[in-house]
Amino acid sequence: MLKTKLIRKVISVGLCATIGFTMLGFGQAAPVSAAVSSTTKANNIINSGKKYLGVPYKFGAPSGITYAFDCSSFTQYIYKKNGIKLPRTSKAQATKGYKVLKGNLKKGDLVFFKVPSRTGNSIGHVGVYAGNNMMLHTFGAGGVKFTSLDTPHWKKNYVTARRVIS
């Protein structure tokens, strides 16, 4: 009986100490290293994409080619190079990861837009948030490029963002 009480007391004190240390910020190295890891992965994805600046845009470009991209083949390609598998279309990519508010964007988040010339208001374009309110994407003249999210066209047609980097 005395031995059982002692064991309970030791467990209780240990549990309280663990909770207390956690509340004070001790023992939280894992989230910090996870943040560093996701930041590194995001930078690697953006750096992978930068290698293709100026590569022409071609609607419907097949997966895996690098002489031309459409928006979703581009994101699919550069994320795959960094160990993240994405579906082929922007609409399907918009179902992956989890939703992020525009005010909480981080490098590496996918940003999605509607294309007014297409019927319906569904998602028709994707880019990679590159920080400082810029996205890396491919669309129209100039091919792969950086564009401000404040550009009137993109600002007006913004739909959502998804975080797929864990």
Question: Tens of pLDDT along 83-105?
Answer: 999 999 999 999 999 999 999 99
Return the bridge partners of 125, or none: 113
Percent of the chain with pLDDT over 70: 78
Judged against a pLDDT cut of 80, whether residue 14 lies above it is answered with: no
**Residue 131 DSSP code:** E
- pTM equals 0.79
> Which strand (E) or helix (H) includes residue 160?
strand 158-163
pLDDT tens digit sequence for 35-72? 669 899 999 999 999 999 999 999 999 999 999 999 99
Return the bridge partners of 99, or none: 162
User: Which residues, 6 or more positions from 64, have their beta carbon under 8 angstroms from its beta carbon?
Assistant: 73, 77
Minimum mean pLDDT among 30-44, 99-113, 144-158: which range? 30-44
User: Residue 143's closest CA among 62, 45, 81, 61?
Assistant: 61
Judged against a pLDDT cut of 60, whether residue 145 lies above it is answered with: yes
Domains annotated for the chain, with CATH where assigned, are 41-163 (3.90.1720.10)
Which residues are identified as catalytic?
71, 125, 137
Q: How many CB atoms lie within 10 A of CB 162?
A: 18
For residues 88, 94, 100, 101, the Cα torsion angle rounded to the nearest 10 degrees is 130
Minimum mean pLDDT among 15-29, 62-76, 116-130, 137-151: which range? 15-29
The CA-to-CA distance between both ends of the chain, in Å, stands at: 48
Phi (first) and psi of residue 140, to 5 degrees: 60, -150
pLDDT band at 33 (very low <50, low <70, confident <90, very high): low
User: Residue 42's closest CA among 73, 75, 87, 7?
Assistant: 75
